[in-house]
Structure formats: structure tokens, C-alpha cells
Amino acid sequence: MIEVSTSTLCKRHDPNAFTATVPEPVAETVSLVGQDRSREAIQLSASIRHDLFNLFVTGPAGSGRHAEVLGILREHAADRPVPVDWVYVNNFDDPQKPRALELPAGKAIMLRDCMQKLVDDLANDIPALFESDEYQSQRRLIEEEVEQSQETAMAEFADRAQSENIALLRTPMGFMLTAIREGKPLKTEDYGRLPEQEQAEVDEKIARFQEQLAEVMREAPKLERQGRNRIEQLNADMAERAVSARIEEVATELRGIESVASYLTDAQADIIANAELFLKSGKDRNDGPFPEAIRKYHQDPEFGRYAINVMVSHAENGDLGAPVEMEDLPTLDRLTGRIEHVSHMGSLMTNFTMIKPGALHRANGGYLILDARRVLVEPFAWDALKRCLKNRRITITSLAERISLASTITLEPDPIPLSVRVVLVGDRVLHALLVMFDPDFAELFKVQADFEESVDRNGESSAGMSGLLASQAARENLRPLNAAGMARLLDEAVRIAEDSRKYSLRVEALTDLMCEADHYASQRSADVIDAADIAAAVDAQDRRASRIRDRMHEAITRGTILIDTSGEKVGQVNGLSVIGLGDYVFGRPSRITARVRMGAGKLIDIEREVELGGPLHSKGVMILSGYLAATFALDVPFSLHASLVFEQSYGGVDGDSASSTELYALLSALSGLPIDQGVAVTGSVNQAGEVQAIGGVNQKIEGFFDICAAKGLSGKQGVIIPKTNIDHLMLRPRVVEAVAAGMFRILAVETVEEGIEALTGVPAGKRGPDGAFEAGSVYARVEERLRDFAEQRRKFGRNKQVNSEEGTR
């Protein structure tokens, strides 16, 4: 057993080790300290060209994972080529299956603008062309030729009929044939006076010319059809002239792209075939540079067929390198894109211009950062992401379609080839679950970057941490920290790490502390953040979160919760525990009592019996039971019946940090030696009697100290901790000052023997050559009591057997 020195209780930083004031300007981004392993993994995933080497980043929240990943990916993205552009265009053969076109970087916007200008110009050129004198004269010529052909055929027929004295008359009911006598049509009464032979001749001629007239009349629609065909061909020729001229004006660099050239050919043919659309639009044009009826496809959907739907574009002089995208809400639609609909006449309508890109489209050719938990909780998002990564293409599927809720007509756009490196950020438990339960995960995410929670405390890491924190202050636009302020902030980094030999890498918590300290510095009109500002921020954070702790301490000081800080009691020890409320953890003492009697070797853990004890606590009780059985009265049956309980504990108890405390209570109850109630204990124990390290040692010590201080420090109070926890000490100044003044003690032990000696003031005792413990020692008393229990049990068993035999007689 040793008494921990004051210098060991809180190993503070020397302000003289830092510059007087942090120099300015400070780099806005500094790599995290102690994350070399994670950085190498990120570098590998970012640079390797093989597919499916996607990255899963794990580690504690607030460690700066997102910022570090983002910084490294941006460095690599700057050296990678700018990805190609992608657009969707109309499939003129099958509008339900839009075509995806790949274009060089920066050309998508150019193509869209060119097509807008093309349609805009044609909306003016085609109506003007069809109103021109050239077109009108050619059309009139065709119409006149058709009309002339019809008249010529009719005139030739009339001449043939007249040569045989048959006249062609036009009546309101149509054409009629009649005989001619003396240059005049033959009347009905005159026809009746003709001889029968002449009547027969007239009838024969009229019947014959009726057939010829019918044939002439049948030829008229053919002539009109031929005329219409000629006019349609004229319209096509005129439209082709206008469209071809405008197509030729499209930039050569666009027409040189194979996919664009193919599309322009199809668009040209469709515009020529539907030139009447432009004639209709020309009747009601507005004054804008691009007619609104054409621009707004939902007002006139026919013109939307020539639009260019830009899915992703990289301006030639804009973004340099590959994209780095972050999606905060990774739903199915926001990952893979969506197809929107509009209501029209009671129906939901859509077309290729209503296809919207997702995060995979924007990140294609680069990097995409996602929060793993958010992806997994969104319906079908995880499945869609895996499918796209495995197939290496982006297929747009709506959520309504996946769950069969929508019966409207939708689109089947061409899938877009996918080349992206996905980075998932999550916790270690989530990573382990995915490895175990998702067979696709290991195939798709081959690299893991596991961020450290702490880094060794040395000169190099101290310089690195100070540079990192100074960088964070500059990025948050805070005042710089002077040397004392930096030293005090690094003290808190050690405190958060719960290890005097390490720094915590929870950069977010330290940044929050600096932000609050900057506020206090501003209140005193200071130019820098000093140690006092950091201390004020620490105290303020503690005060805001300490309401429950203060109420518990109040209950103890008022005697509502029974905790003794002076005097001696048999079978009673003050144990130390921690309570966590979110990020806030505080210590509180608990009274642990033990009661013993003769029995059959049963140790009752009351917490476990009432299902308030967790499995780790039950394990600790079983371990101390094994220690007792293997250490004392080895030559007689273990005849102890004991009970252990956390007094006034109404919630769950878990962890084995109280197992040594419970063992001390049992040893006191068995030996009959009282324990000093001014000393509290923490530490777990193994079956060999060695006291093992526990967590939350600083909070446990401070919790008991605050109770002792409230009740009055006597100089005899203190705490017993495992010796292996000495390196974890980073106590608050109030405790260190009390220890320095001799008003409080902190003892460190390695074994149960050292602990029981400190608590009782009596030697634990060792076995001599005769196998017996030293007379008067704690262990000698314990063994003697256990032997007495065994003897009582033996006598009780023999008496019971005698009484049973007498009853049988």
C-alpha cells in the first residue's frame, strides 16, 4: 500500500512549454494527432483504383472523423480528372425509355443551351419560312397544278361527250349527263317522242359516259392526294432547310461527340416530322428570348421533347478535380435520384425532363460520404446503394414503385454507369453487426478506418495537439489561446482521456470548451483566452449538468441517504460508483453491508436476487466467493451463509468495480473487526486476491471528497484505489489542494491484504510454516470464524441424524 503523492494526483502541463501566444495566422486545417493508422486506411481507399474498395470509418463521435475524411478526400480529388457530364434526352422512338448521354466535362450545359437556342430560333424561323413569298408561290403552284389537272381531265371528258351529242351539266346535286339536239339539252318530253331506236342509242351513250365520268371523278382524290403529298414534301424540304441550317450552327465540338451527333440526327428528323408544332407556337409567341410555351414543358409538353435534362455537369473552368459529396439525408430518392410527376386532368403525368439526380449522380467519378446509421434506417436506401455499387450503374427506382403503391405510368431511363468511392461513417458496433449479418458488406466495403480515442502524451503529441487546437480556434473564429490557456486546455484533454499518460482525441468536446472560454474572454474584454477562461468554462459546464448530482449529495449530507464519513462499523464499507447521464458522469458513495452466519457455503447477492444486479456485478460476487473458498479453512467444508447488498440502492447495479469493497465487508463481518467509515473503496478483485483497475476513478474520488467536505474534513478521510489506477488520476484542484493540506488521503493498493489492513488497522496475516495465519491477524480471525461455522454445521448435522434415528425407533 502506498499513499499517492500530490504531484501524482494531477500531472498538469507547464505553460512555459508553449509559446507566449499562439502565432497567427494559423493554418485553417491541421491533420488530427495520433490517427496515422486511420489516415493510412483513408489514403488507401481514396487512391486505389480497384473497384469495391469502399471505406467504413469507425471511432468515437466528436473525434473529427468527418473533417479528417473530408480533408483527405479533397486532397485526392484535386489530383483526379474531372468526371464526364451526364444528361437525359428524349427517346423519340420510345418516350418511356429516356436515353442517357455521356459528354465531356462541361459540355452538358453547352448542349442544353444550344438546344434551347435551336428550338427558340426554329420557333421563329419555321413560321417565317412558311410565310415567305417563296414558300407561298411554290405552294400555290402545286395547288394550281392540281386544280389544272382536275379541270383538264374534266374538259377532255366533256369534249368527248359533246362529240357524241352528250352534254355534261353541273347541278346543285353534282354532275349530270344529257343528250343534245340542235345544241340544246334534250328535254324529257322531247326524249319521249324519240323513236325507240334513238332512245336506246341515247341511253347507251349516257351509260357509257357515266362510267367514264365516274372514273374521272375517282381520279380527282388521287390528284388531291398527290397535291397534298407534294405540299407535305415541300413543307418537309422547307423545314429541313431551316433545321439543317440551325443544326449546322451547333458548336463543332458538340457535333463531334458521337452520342450528341446521333441525338441531333434523331432530333432533326423529329422536328422535321413535327414542323406544324412550331407553326402553332408561332401564332402566339411572347417577347422572351425563349418562348415560354416552349420552355415550360408542363404547359406545352410537345416542346419538352427537345429539352436537355442535365443530371450532372462539371463546368470547365469551375470545379477542379473529382467531386466530393456529403448527403445528410440519404433516402432512396436522394441517393439514386427520382422521377417526379405532375397532375394533369386528374392524372399523374411525367416525362424525361422530370428525372432528378441523386447523390450518386453528383458524386459519380469522385467520392460520396454518408452516415451509416442514417442510410440503414431509410427504407430501401441501403439495398439500393449496394445494388448500385455491385452493378456499377445507377438505376432510378421510386419508393412507391418498390412497395407497389403507385399504378401510374412511369419511365425506365437508361442506367448511368457508376464509378464512385463511398465512405460510410459509423460506430464500431454497427460495423461489427454489418460484418456478421450482411454478406454483401465485406465484399463492398473492404477497408476500415478505425479512429483512436486517445494518443500517448509526449512532446510530439503535445505539440501536435496544441497546433490542432489552435487551428480549431482559428477555424471557429475564436481568440487565440495564450500559453497558460493552452496548457489548461490540454489538462482537460488528459482529464477526458481518463489517463494522465494520454490525450483525448475528442476534438469536438475540446472545441466546444474553447468556444465557451472565448465567450468568457470577451466578457472581460481580453484579446486571448487564458487559463482562467478555460477553468470558468469547465466549471460552468459542470454546474449546468450537475443538478442530479447536487440533489444526491444533498440527500446524503441531510442523512436521507445513510453514508458515514467517520467512525467504525463491522461489515460495512463505503463503496464508490459512477452515474452517467448522457455525457455527464459523476461519482457517488454507496453503503455496502455484509451479514454472515453458519450455512451451506452460499453467498447471496441481494442485488442479483431481486434482478437489480447486472451480469458483471454478479460475476464479481462469484469471484470473491471463489477467493474466500480457496483462501480460508481449506480442510473443512465451506460453511458460510452470507448476504451482500448495496443499501438504499433502487436502480440497477452493474460492473465489478465494487467486488473488492464487498470482499472487505465480508472479511470485516467474518473477523469482527470494524472498518474505518472515513475511507471509501473502489476496485475489482480476481480469485488470486489482486486488486484490478476500474473506470471513472477521478469522478469516484471527487464524489466521496465532496461528501466529506460537506460534512467536514477531519484529515483522516480518504479513498482506496487500485495501484494500477494511479496513472489515470487527473483530479480537480479542490481535491489536490485538500490532499496537499493533509485533509484528505488517497491510498493505492495491489492486493486485498493491503486493503483490509488499511481499512481495519490490523495486519492481514500470512500463513506460517505450520499452515496457520499469524495470531490476531484479520485472516486468522476469518479462518477461525469459518472453522467455527464448519464445526457448528457438523454438530447440527450429527444432532439431526440422532434425532432422526430416535424418531424411527
11-36 per-position pLDDT tens digit: 999 888 876 444 444 444 557 888 88
Shared domain check, 170 and 258: yes
E strands present in 451-549: 454-456, 502-504
Q: How confident is the model at residue 281 (pLDDT cuts 50, 70, 90)?
A: low
- The secondary structure of 712-762 as a DSSP string is ---S--EEEEEGGGGGG-B--HHHHHHHHTTS-EEEEESBHHHHHHHHHSS
Task: Mean pLDDT check: name the lowest of 405-419, 669-683, 693-707.
Answer: 405-419
The answer on 718 and 575 residing in a single domain is yes
For residue 280, pLDDT over 80 is answered with: no
Written as one letter, the residue type at 322 is A
Asked, for residue 630, whether it belongs to a domain, the answer is: yes
Average pLDDT of the segment spanning 306-312: 91
What CATH number is given to the structural domain containing 425? 3.40.50.300
Confidence band (pLDDT; 50, 70, 90) for 800?
Answer: low
234 and 348 housed in the same domain: no
Same domain, 256 and 356: no
Residue 123 grid cell: 420557333
Higher local confidence (pLDDT), 247 or 805: 247
Which pairs with CB-CB distance under 8 Å and at least 24 residues apart come from 789-795?
789/597, 789/598, 789/599, 789/639, 789/640, 790/633, 790/636, 790/637, 790/638, 790/639, 791/636, 792/598, 792/639, 793/598, 793/599, 793/600, 793/637, 793/639
User: Quick one: pLDDT at residue 295?
Assistant: 44
R_g of the chain, CA atoms, integer Å = 48
Residues 574 and 715 in one domain: yes
336 and 263 assigned to the same domain: no
On the question of pLDDT at 464 being above 60, the answer is yes
Distance in angstroms (rounded) separating the CA atoms of residues 499 and 512 = 21
Do 254 and 383 share a domain, yes or no?
no
Residue type at position 180: I
Query: Looking at the domain assignment, is residue 169 inside a domain?
Result: yes
Examine residue 25 and say whether the peptide bond preceding it is cis (omega within 30 degrees of 0): yes
Q: Is the dihedral of CA 648, 654, 655, 656 positive or negative?
A: positive
**Which pLDDT band holds residue 298 (cuts at 50, 70, 90)?**
very low
Q: Is residue 292 part of a domain?
A: no
The predicted pLDDT at position 782 comes to 92
Residues 6+ apart with CB under 8 A from 432: none
Residue 1 lies in a domain: no
For residue 178, name the pLDDT band (cuts at 50, 70, 90): confident
For the residues 744-750, what does the mean pLDDT come to?
Answer: 95
pLDDT of residue 293 exceeding 80: no
pTM above 0.95, yes or no: no
What average pLDDT does this structure show over 404-412?
69
Residue 372 within a domain = yes
Domain boundary among 391, 422, 450: 450
Q: Please report whether residue 537 resides in a domain.
A: no
Categorize the per-residue pLDDT at 724 as very low, low, confident or very high, splitting at 50, 70 and 90. Answer: very high
How many domains are contained in the chain? Answer: 3
Q: Which amino acid is at 500?
A: S
Q: In whole angstroms, give the CA distance from residue 493 to residue 424.
A: 27
Per-residue confidence band for 575, with pLDDT thresholds at 50, 70 and 90: very high
**Contacts with 737 (C-beta within 8 Å, 6 or more apart), sequence order:** none
Tell me the average pLDDT across 607-616: 74
* Whether residue 766 sits in one domain with residue 635: yes
- Cell 402545286 locates to 142
* Mean of pLDDT values over 239-243: 76
344 and 245, same structural domain?
A: no
Lowest mean pLDDT among 55-69, 296-310, 661-675: 296-310
Confidence at residue 193, expressed as pLDDT on a 0 to 100 scale: 66
The pLDDT, as a whole number, for residue 233 is 75
Cα 613 off chain centre by: 36
Q: Are 349 and 341 in contact (CB under 8 A)?
A: yes
Q: Which of 386, 502, 700, 723 is catalytic?
A: 700
- Among 657, 660, 668, 777, which one carries the catalytic annotation? 657
Dihedral pair phi/psi, residue 344, rounded to 5°: -140, 115
In this prediction, residues 469-489 reach a mean pLDDT of 92
pLDDT in tens, 119-139: 888 877 777 777 777 777 877
What are the tens digits of pLDDT across the range 586-606?
Answer: 999 999 999 999 988 888 777
Per-residue pLDDT, 317: 47
User: Is 70 a member of any domain?
Assistant: no
Please check whether residues 229 and 351 belong to one and the same domain. no
Q: What is the pLDDT of residue 573?
A: 95
Pull the grid cell for residue 69: 475524411
Same domain as 685, residue 585: yes
Q: Is 657 tagged catalytic?
A: yes
700 is a catalytic site residue: yes
* Domain span at 207: 129-275
- The last residue of a domain, from among 432, 450, 468: 450
For residues 699 and 585, is the Cβ–Cβ distance under 8 A?
yes
Report the pLDDT value the prediction gives residue 19, as an integer from 0 to 100: 66
Residue 713 sits in a domain of what CATH number? 3.30.230.10
Instruction: Look at the alpha carbons of 766, 771, 774, 776 in this order and tell me if their dihedral is positive or negative.
Output: positive
Q: What is the pLDDT of residues 503-539, one digit of tens each?
A: 999 989 999 999 999 999 999 999 999 999 999 999 9
Lowest mean pLDDT among 209-218, 426-435, 438-447, 769-778: 209-218
56-103 pLDDT per residue, tens: 999 888 888 888 899 999 999 998 989 999 999 999 899 899 999 999
| pLDDT reading at 712 higher than 80 | yes
What pLDDT band is residue 297 in, cutting at 50, 70 and 90? very low
Say whether pLDDT at 548 is over 80.
yes
Residue 181: is its pLDDT beyond 80? no
**Considering the domain boundaries, does residue 411 fall inside one?**
yes
Cell 490540454 appears where?
490
Q: Identify the band that residue 151 occupies on the pLDDT scale cut at 50, 70 and 90.
A: confident
Do 263 and 329 fall within a single domain?
no
Task: Determine the pLDDT at residue 283.
Answer: 54
- State percent of the chain over pLDDT 70: 89
User: What integer best gives the mean pLDDT of the chain?
Assistant: 85
Q: What is the pLDDT of residue 706?
A: 94
Q: Please indicate whether residue 373 or residue 257 has the higher confidence score (pLDDT).
A: 373
**Of 226 and 703, which is predicted with more confidence?**
703
